[in-house]
Structure 1
Amino acid sequence: MSSELIQQQMPTPLATAIDLDAYFRRIGYTGDRTPTLETLREIQRLHTAAIPFENLNPLLGIPVLLDLNSLQQKMVKNGRGGYCFEQNRLLSQVLKALGFRVRELAARVLWNVPDGVVKAISHKLLNVQVGDAWYLADVGFGGLSPTGPVRVELDTVQTTPHEPFRVVDINEEMGLQALVKDEWRSLYSFTLREHQSPDYEMFSWYLCNHPDSYFLNNLAVARSTADRRYGLRNTVFTTHHLGGESEQRELTSVAEIRTVLEGVFQIALPDVPHLDATLQRLIDEVAETRHKTV
């Protein structure tokens, strides 16, 4: 077979270029496009405000696609959010296009995990070089996504637009901690070992298919604005005021959940026939659980 015929039979590769103009319109960024710390800070702050963390695809049985075209279609053009593998994959491509050196890392979640319990690797974060320094950039950890970069420097308290963060040593790995209500809480542990796209495909597939996956059985949504963080866990809607108190409200109807998702979290809800039935199931399950504990 001639080389010309072989080339004709090879599939045409999909376009993989990041549309920076569309992304910047999505997050409202109008600043400089050079790889500086200020650029990184502003992009991270705006991204966490504009593109919410949400797991509607796994919850509704819709595939989570991690190729760049699908991510741009979903989160840039269609007004959706996503979870860590989507969010930080999109951000990594933006930063690389701007000239940043980016290493893609993976972590074990420690948030709300009892001492002694070892969780599988299930989180993606980014390691970004600015000058001679390296920073963590993570727009996909949900309710505590850092809204600014955190320098990879042990035991140094660092400010962000929201909580202070620090990097610490945890069992010979690095750990990211946030100061929450005067207590340092661990988000996850990680190493600086770079991972590749097939690794994240495997991690993400597990979270979307294993019957015990939190994302298959629960609704998790988060968004940060200048003076607060919003969170939704199933039917509990929480507003955390920056430097102040938190407010919680129980959502008791599908209409209420829809209103919060579309209004507060600014999500263009997927047009699938079973959306309302799935939201109603969550309401019924919460009610049943509370009835059993009374």
Structure 2
Amino acid sequence: MQRDRGHGWDGELLDLDAYLARVGYDGERAPTLAALRGLHRAHVTSIPFENFAAVLGEPVALDLPSLQEKLVRGRRGGYCFEHAVLFAAALERLGFGATGLSGRVTLGAGTANPQTHALLAVRAADDERLWLCDVGFGSGPLEPVEIRDGAEADFDGWRFRMERRTGALGADEWWLHQRKEGRWQDRHTFALTPASPKDWLMGSHYVATHPRSPFVRRLYAQTFCAARHQALDATTWTTYLPDGTATERKIEADALGRVLAEEFGIELDAASLARLRDGLDSA
């Protein structure tokens, strides 16, 4: 039977060895829950979040060869759609069942935002539960969170909780909460409605090109690990710790290249770096 390429992840095109080396994963190559947890943690802590292509007005490609060239070989990062497609291809290659989902970022605002966040619902061969894999948000979680009402997870002090609510027309809405400053803050919401790579392509186009998208107006970069979450928003560099404390500092435009390379692990060519610096100077 011919495969429906509109819903697959092109895992056969993935240079699996190069990807696993990029994320530093050397565990088993089998569709087990242990492997899913290990691979999720490896991806989240190795490939940074960044939106520089959108800021520079460059195309954001979601085909697997382009993603491999940028995120794997090019030592760059990306935003949620890029991360999710690359991770889905790796999961598919290893034999997992991975279904795309589209989420609405809320961050406690309570507003109905557009579906501009890419997520994955994944099952392992040795476990019947359904797991949310959110590798492209920039601030974790380190490992998958079970899609079950009331499910809680604590990953090295970073805490998350899943909640099911009844939405319009009686449909289930799933909400991922993160523990921040002593309280639960809703981070995003999603439904268990499959999203194909083509659906994500439309969402990514909006995020990368619409004049009202925050991603086209100023640069963002994030790295996340068990010890800390680092975020660069234009010239504001903030370090968050699992206990909720944060340290904020400002950087000068001429320090951008050094900070990105040393603190965020992002390598930029000279021309792109110069254009980003110019944007910081004019902001």
User: How high is the TM-score relative to the length of structure 1?
Assistant: 0.86
Counterpart position of 2:46:
50
Aligned residue in 2 for 1:218: 218
Is 2:133–2:143's contact at 8 Å kept on the other side of the alignment?
A: yes
Aligned to 1:40: 36
1:113-159 CA distances to partner (integer Å, 9 max, x unpaired)?
Answer: x33x32111010000102211100011112x2211110011112212
Instruction: Give the structure with higher Rg (CA).
Output: 1
The residue identity in structure 1 corresponding to 2:74 is N
Whether the aligned pair in 2 keeps the contact of 1:128 and 1:137 (CA below 8 Å) is yes
Q: Contact 2:254 / 2:277 at 8 angstroms: preserved in 1?
A: no
Q: Following TM superposition, by how much is the alpha carbon of 1:276 offset from its aligned partner in structure 2, in angstroms?
A: 2.1
1:187, distance to aligned residue in structure 2 (A): 1.1
SS in 2 for 1:121: coil
Matching residue of 2:200: 200
Greater Cα shift, 215-224 or 153-162: 153-162
Secondary structure of the 1:176 match is strand
Task: Measure how far apart 1:283 and its partner are.
Answer: 4.1
Contact 2:230 / 2:239 at 8 angstroms: preserved in 1?
A: yes
Q: Residue type matched to 2:278 in 1? A: Q
CA distance in 2, matches of 1:171, 1:189: 12
Identity %: 35
- Please tell me whether the aligned partners of residues 12 and 93 of structure 2 are also in contact (alpha carbons under 8 angstroms): no
Cα distance in 2 for partners of 1:241, 1:279 equals 28
Q: Give the match's secondary structure for 2:95.
A: coil
Residues of 2 paired with 1:48 and 1:158: CA distance? 16
Q: Which residue of 1 aligns with 2:134?
A: 138
Measured after TM superposition, the shift of residue 201 of structure 1 is 0.8
The alignment covers a number of residue pairs equal to 267
Moved over 3 A (4+): none
Partner of 1:256: 255
Structure 1 residues 20, 255: CA separation in 2 closer, same or farther (over 3 Å shift)?
same
Deviation, 1:162, is 4.7
Q: Give the C-alpha shift of residue 279 in structure 1.
A: 2.5
Local SS of the residue matching 2:40? helix
TM superposition shift of 1:49: 1.5
The 5 Å alignment of 1:30-109 reads: 30-109=26-105
Counterpart contact for 2:150–2:163, Cα < 8 Å: yes
Structure 2's unaligned 5+ residue stretches are: 1-9, 168-172
Structure 1 residues 46 and 161 mapped into 2: Cα distance closer, same or farther (>3 Å)?
A: farther
The corresponding residue for 1:292 is none
Tell me, in whole angstroms, the C-alpha distance in 2 between the residues paired with 1:244 and 1:191.
29
**Which amino acid in structure 2 is aligned with residue 101 of structure 1?**
G
- Aligned mates of 2:192, 2:161 — CA distance in 1: 16
Alignment of 1:1-16 (within 5 A): none
TM-score, structure 2 normalization: 0.89
Question: How far apart in 1 are the matches of 2:275 and 2:197?
Answer: 34
Residues 267-292 of structure 1, C-alpha deviations (whole Å, 9 max, x = no match)? 111443x532432333442xxxxxxx
Q: Hey, what's the Cα distance between the residues in 2 that align with 1:279 and 1:256?
A: 9
Contact kept? 1:129, 1:135, Cα under 8 Å: yes
Secondary structure of the equivalent of 1:132?
A: strand
CA contact (8 A) 2:62 2:81 kept: yes
Whether the 8 Å CA contact 1:228–1:241 is kept in 2: the answer is yes
Instruction: Read off the aligned partner of 2:112 and give its amino acid letter.
Output: V
Aligned equivalents of 1:174, 1:15: Cα separation in 2:
28
Residue matched to 2:170: none
Matching residue of 1:119: 113
Q: Matched residue of 1:223: which SS?
A: strand
Note the residue ranges of structure 1 that are not aligned, 5 or more in a row. Answer: 1-13, 286-294
Amino acid in structure 2 at the alignment position of 1:153: R
For 2:54 and 2:31, the matched residues in 1 are separated by 34
Out of 8, 13, 17, the residue aligned to residue 17 of structure 1 is 13
Partner amino acid, structure 1, of 2:274: D
**Kept in 1: contact 2:76–2:268 (CA 8 A):** yes
Cα distance in 2 for residues equivalent to 1:284 and 1:220:
16
Letter in 1 for 2:280: L
| Cα distance in 2, alignment partners of residues 231 and 246 from structure 1 | 11
Deviation at 1:88, TM superposition (A): 0.6
* 1:276 alignment counterpart: 274
Deviation (angstroms), 1:171: 4.8
SS of 1:263's equivalent in the other structure is helix
Amino acid at match of 1:19: D
Picking from 155, 159, 184, the partner of 2:154 is 159
Contact 1:16–1:68 (8 Å) recurs in 2: no
Secondary structure of 1:105's partner?
A: strand
